[in-house]
Amino acid sequence: MTSDAAPPDPPTAPRRRHTREIHGVATEDPWFWLRDREDPDTIAYLEAENAYADAMFEPLGELSERLFEEIKGRVKETDMSVPVRKGSWWYVGRTEEGKQYAIHTRRADVDGAPSDEELVLLDENELAGDSDYLGVGDLLVSPDHRLLAYTCDFDGDEKYQLRIIDLSTGEMLDDRVEDLTYGLAWSADSSTIFYTLADDMQRSDRVVRHNLGSPVSDDVVVFHETDDRFWVGLGATRSERFIIMSSESRTTSEVRVVDATDPTSAAKIIEPRSQGHEYRVEHHAERFLILSNLDAPDFRLFETPVDDPAMANWTELIAHEPGVRLDDVDAFADHLVVTRRRNNVPQISVWHLGDGSVTDLEFPEPIFETGGSANVEWHTPKYRFGYASMVTPSSIYEHDVVTGERTLLKQQEVVGGYDSDRYVTERLMAEAADGTRVPLSVLRHKDTPTDGTAPCVLYGYGSYEVIMPASFSSNRLSLIDRGVVFAMSHVRGGGEMGRAWYDNGRLGNKINSFTDLLSAADRLVEAGWADPDRIVIRGGSAGGLLVGGVLNMAPEKVAGVVAEVPFVDNVNTMLDPSLPLTIGEYEEWGNPEEAEAFEWLMQYSPYENVEAVDYPPIYATAGLNDPRVSYWEPAKWIAKLRDTAVGRRRFLLKTEMGAGHGGPSGRYDAWRDEARIQAFILEVFDLADGSSEPSRVDREGSPTERPR
């Protein structure tokens, strides 16, 4: 980093002999020992890396603080969500200036509006106390509105504790369960709660029933998933008539339902699992709605009787449309809401059950994101949805399905003022080597030139069929207002362009994700949006694998890398079935015990393919308690880069010693982390000294000039 003083020497992780041979290939893994967090040398090394990163960032301290104040200054720190009505109550979440976490409240309904008297259900700031970390997993009020069940995690390992509050007295019930995963569901009479537990590999594998007031030792396992490829999910239908228990692998699913009015009744299976068949279930009246990929890679919709839901009774309601992903169907008493994705553009349609007509909602911008918001009531003529684009702040609308009237309930306030006309967003298409057209969502300040001189941050993910939304982030404005272009590449392996897009970016086709990102970088240069010598690539988790793989393939095309909790030691992780997620992800990455899959993984593994070349600056992060990407993956990667690379060798690692996959849990801490990342990026672009103020245009009138 930039400094007049000589930089400190980077820490060195000693090599310890550890060899492995598989499929006739012998490899060395001299930093294998970092997996042992009980080894004092492991913690000492991570702390040394943290100290080194702090020292290297010291010259950027003033810039980091300025960026933090800018990021914080755009946020309305004391704010509240749009009230959500459920029965005779309105539920509201809010934040207060200076506090890290949300406060959950409710107000009584008075003539269709919230009353003035607020009841605090849960103040996460009080819950966190002196803890450096707090994660609230689930938060669920009972059907009679008398009880609040929530789960909490105080170290980021995603092992939650269940707590239940009697809202009429404010007292905590004695019913407390440890080591939960995600998902809660109440019985209709609020006497019973269902939760999920995990096995030793932290795979959610059991649904458990607990009767309030009874000992936890009496809890009943309702369903146990014994296939290590599958994990269980839990929820309830909007109608509150059924509790849904899903069992899913990456390619196959199976659903069971329990009558919520009879919580001790046996779970009814909808359709037994069949390899490759995925389906989801919603309830409406005396039928289940089944979203299924049966002979339909991009899914179609069926209905089936509640009393006999087997596939033999399925009747098609919406046919398959190749390349157009049928994402979801939401059921309400008098209408259905169908969401699709066509050419990476989301669509919402309202199906009026009274007359069978369908209304397609229209949106003003060609590039945007939308989807259902808090729609908890069963009997309602209103549908809430979120809307945003890369230039339009996040908004909540309410659509009246009877009159067609649309009402803006709330739009994210960018404190200090925000003028979307100062920014330009476009959809570019990059052509991959095989001719595939890869979409990019691109954002710049209107005065940023498109003559190939602008620095650019290129973001990517491309795994698990996850869609990267082209939505708004006020955090980006600090870079955009300094003339940096932001580009999001929707590479294969994601879910933006239908099931084939995902399939062409996983298993043996995973290499396409990496070459797509390189094609995206080339397209940005070709279009004049990016300086070829100033492109920083950024990704997290599986996106960290993406940028790490690209770094090895073409280090000369990259000016810098931000890799957040990156999955960079993928071969060794996938060879260890005792680790969380490994077995369940064979269908995503492949099982390296099989020679063909081992060859795929070795082809792009960031850790395995480090070479003696001049790599650009890298900033990597890790979480000591991360159950998804173990801390040792980025730690081993940085250690090997330091040992092997030549040239600049500017590699930084920051490990959160009390957090997990998501980094710091408090919002101020998260903003400071983002400010540090942006300072790193600006330093890579040579914009840290003398150019750390927003552009001239913004100083004359944009929000970055005004007090916050």
Antiparallel, parallel or unpaired: β 382-388 and 369-372: antiparallel
Residue 533 has pLDDT above 70, yes or no: yes
Last-in-domain residue among 412, 444, 474 = 412
Residue 699 has pLDDT above 60, yes or no: no
Q: Is 54 a catalytic residue?
A: no
Q: Mean pLDDT throughout 434-451? A: 97
Q: Band the pLDDT of 2: cuts 50, 70, 90.
A: low
Q: Is 283 a catalytic residue?
A: no
Last-in-domain residue among 319, 349, 375 = 319
The number of CA neighbours under 13 Å toward the Cβ of 341 is 23
Looking at residue 362, what is its pLDDT?
97
Please check whether residue 14 lies inside any domain of the structure: no
Residue 693 has pLDDT above 90, yes or no: no
Looking at residue 3, what is its pLDDT?
52
Q: Mean pLDDT throughout 244-262? A: 97
Q: Mean pLDDT throughout 73-97? A: 97
Please check whether residue 3 lies inside any domain of the structure: no
CA distances from 70 to 373, 445, 622, 659, 697 (A): 28, 17, 25, 25, 17
Please check whether residue 351 lies inside any domain of the structure: yes
CA distances from 619 to 49, 213, 426, 625, 702 (A): 11, 50, 28, 19, 30
Residue of 147, 657, 81 whose CA lies nearest to 410: 81
Catalytic option among 246, 519, 541, 665: 541
Please check whether residue 311 lies inside any domain of the structure: yes
Domain identity same for 33 and 148 = no
Task: Retrieve residue 376's tokens.
Answer: 């908890």
pLDDT digits (tens, 9 = 90+) for 86-127: 999 999 999 999 999 999 999 999 999 999 999 999 999 999
Domain identity same for 627 and 665 = yes
Q: For residue 651, what are the domain limits? A: 19-72+417-705
pLDDT digits (tens, 9 = 90+) for 655-670: 999 999 999 999 999 9
Q: Band the pLDDT of 704: cuts 50, 70, 90.
A: very low
Please check whether residue 582 lies inside any domain of the structure: yes
Q: What is the CATH number of the domain that holds 225?
A: 2.130.10.120
- How many angstroms separate the CA atoms of 123 and 101, rounded? 8
pLDDT digits (tens, 9 = 90+) for 9-53: 999 999 999 998 999 998 899 999 999 999 999 999 999 999 999
Q: Residue holding tokens 């998902």?
A: 183
| Long-range contacts of the stretch 131-139 (C-beta < 8 A, 24+) | 132/658, 132/659, 133/658, 133/659, 133/660, 133/664, 133/665, 134/100, 134/101, 134/665, 134/666, 135/160, 135/660, 135/662, 135/665, 137/180, 137/181, 137/182, 138/182, 138/183, 138/184, 139/104
Q: Residue holding tokens 């298409």?
A: 429
Q: Residue holding tokens 């046919």?
A: 319
Residue 676 has pLDDT above 90, yes or no: yes
Catalytic option among 153, 298, 626, 698: 626
Are 159 and 197 in contact, with CB atoms under 8 Å apart? no
pLDDT digits (tens, 9 = 90+) for 501-511: 999 999 999 99
Catalytic option among 481, 605, 661, 673: 661
Domain identity same for 680 and 653 = yes
Task: Retrieve residue 517's tokens.
Answer: 């990102």
Q: Residue 491 carries which side chain, given as an amino acid letter?
A: V
Q: Is 626 a catalytic residue?
A: yes
Task: Give the H or E element holding residue 181.
Answer: strand 177-186
Domain identity same for 657 and 695 = yes
Residue 382, SS3 per DSSP: strand
Q: Is the pTM of this model over 0.85?
A: yes
Q: What is the CATH number of the domain that holds 431?
A: 3.40.50.1820
Last-in-domain residue among 264, 293, 319 = 319
- SS3 sequence of 502-548: HHCCCHHHCHHHHHHHHHHHHHHHHCCCCCCCCEEEEEECHHHHHHH
Domain identity same for 358 and 218 = no
Looking at residue 7, what is its pLDDT?
76
Domain identity same for 392 and 446 = no
Domain identity same for 173 and 36 = no
Domain identity same for 106 and 167 = yes
Looking at residue 472, what is its pLDDT?
97
Please check whether residue 97 lies inside any domain of the structure: yes
Q: Band the pLDDT of 696: cuts 50, 70, 90.
A: very low
Domain identity same for 166 and 298 = yes
Q: Mean pLDDT throughout 227-243? A: 97
Domain identity same for 398 and 509 = no
Please check whether residue 1 lies inside any domain of the structure: no
Domain identity same for 641 and 584 = yes
- Quote the number of domains for the chain: 3
At residue 330's C-alpha, the angle toward residues 328 and 334, to 5°, is 145
Domain identity same for 374 and 357 = yes
pLDDT digits (tens, 9 = 90+) for 148-163: 999 999 999 999 999 9
Residue of 515, 513, 511, 506 whose CA lies nearest to 590: 506
Q: Band the pLDDT of 165: cuts 50, 70, 90.
A: very high
